[in-house]
Amino acid sequence: MAGVTYDAVTRRYPGSSRPAVDALDLDVADGEFLVLVGPSGCGKTTSLRMLAGLEDIDGGRIRIGDRDVTRVAPEERDIAMVFQNYALYPHMSVAANMGFALKMAGTPKSEIARRVAEAARGLDLAPYLDRKPRGLSGGQRQRVAMGRAIVRQPQAFLMDEPLSNLDARLRVQTRTQIASLQRRLGVTTVYVTHDQVEAMTMGDRVAVVKDGLLQQCAAPGELYDRPANTFVAGFVGSPAMNLLTVPVTGDGVRLGGIDVPVERDAMRDAGPTVTVGVRPEDLRLAHDGLPLEVDLVEELGADAYVYGRARLDGTEHQVVSRVNGRQSPARGAIVHVAPDPERVHLFDGGSRRLG
């Protein structure tokens, strides 16, 4: 097995004004599960296809292990790709689909049968080996696509939105299966999704991309607790982090009437305004706090999301707070909320994290 390295990799489609992938630097460790996540059109699929050898590279280099594969043909790269539409052969049985690449590579029949049986056991597909894909559920087809990748024992798995054709319940179930399977096999995996929950629950690390540019690559907890900029802050977590732009007064920051504790070093780099970030669960009901006029309450049982409007320095801001479900206020009420001082994020005018 091997790690994967993108070294200043750029792809500019002919006729487009900006690169689809712009000088991407990324190191995926041997055995790591790395998720590429970002909104539609940010360049995730292009990044994956360049690694697979299915897309031209206009600048930079890609390595798999010690090998520079930038100009190596796809079939020589020793990787296996799992697509969102599974791309199974409809006329072949599950076993034949799973063993097809090995057969093409001239692997002996007995070896193919052994590897297919082993993968099928790990994927709960053993009872279905003689069926055709049309006789399988969506989740089973997806597992056959995984099995086809596994039997090849590649250096790396590349997965492009493999769960996007499954219904919500099956997605959750299958994502835990894929994540635990990957950990068991220890095969370096690059996984593309636009779903931040999928990214956060599956990845050892998550690379957040926007407009072809890598914004931050970190472990899920780090992304959540120390987002590098307002884009990552708003993209990761649901409901999104509250981001409130306020003027800097003296050497401090005030949110309504409340002092926001800031480190002196952080303020050195701040401009005339800063953006204060507070996650909904860190904005709590309080006696003295920011007045919030409640527009909507979403009851989730144990918790409730309270959406409302707060006035800061003459500007109205939409704010959301997560409260105990038993304390949820009524629509139209005025409540007070205050940020947990330990959990306030600060960003400069250019949206970069301060401190």
What span, in angstroms and rounded, lies between the C-alpha atoms of 220 and 196?
A: 10
Report the run of H or E that residue 51 belongs to, with start and end. Answer: helix 44-52
> Counting contacts by CB under 6 A, is residue 163 touching ligand ATP?
no
Q: 51 or 129: whose CB is closer to ligand ATP?
A: 51
What span, in angstroms and rounded, lies between the C-alpha atoms of 206 and 215?
A: 10
The correct pick among 61, 63, 194, 254 for binding ligand ATP (CB under 6 A) is 194
Tokens of 6: 């993108």
**CA–CA–CA angle 157, 159, 163 (5° rounding):** 135
User: Least distance (Å) from ligand ATP to the CB of residue 92?
Assistant: 28
User: Least distance (Å) from ligand ATP to the CB of residue 50?
Assistant: 9
Identify whether the C-beta of residue 200 lies closer than 8 Å to the C-beta of residue 207.
no
Q: 45 or 321: whose CB is closer to ligand ATP?
A: 45
User: Least distance (Å) from ligand ATP to the CB of residue 14?
Assistant: 7
Q: 41 or 252: whose CB is closer to ligand ATP?
A: 41
Tokens of 281: 């669960």
Q: 39 or 329: whose CB is closer to ligand ATP?
A: 39
Q: 40 or 110: whose CB is closer to ligand ATP?
A: 40
What pairs with residue 62 in β-bridges? 6
User: Least distance (Å) from ligand ATP to the CB of residue 193?
Assistant: 8
Report the run of H or E that residue 307 belongs to, with start and end. Answer: strand 303-312
> Counting contacts by CB under 6 A, is residue 40 touching ligand ATP?
yes
**Segment contacting ligand ATP by CB under 6 A, of 40-48, 125-133, 231-239, 314-322:** 40-48
Report the run of H or E that residue 121 belongs to, with start and end. Answer: helix 109-122
User: Least distance (Å) from ligand ATP to the CB of residue 194?
Assistant: 5
Q: 43 or 139: whose CB is closer to ligand ATP?
A: 43
In the shown chain, the binding pattern of residues 20 to 39 toward ligand ATP, with x for contact by CB under 6 A and - for none, equals x-----------------x-
Identify whether the C-beta of residue 353 lies closer than 8 Å to the C-beta of residue 228.
yes
DSSP state of 330: P
Q: 46 or 229: whose CB is closer to ligand ATP?
A: 46
In the shown chain, the binding pattern of residues 41 to 80 toward ligand ATP, with x for contact by CB under 6 A and - for none, equals xxxxxx----------------------------------
- For residue 218, which phi and psi values (nearest 5 degrees)? -160, 170
The correct pick among 1, 10, 13, 118 for binding ligand ATP (CB under 6 A) is 13
Edge-to-edge strand ranges of the sheet holding 315-324: 315-324, 303-312, 283-299, 334-339
3-class secondary-structure state, position 40: coil
3-class secondary-structure state, position 132: coil
Q: Rule CB under 6 A: which residues touch ligand ATP?
A: 13, 16, 20, 38, 40-46, 194
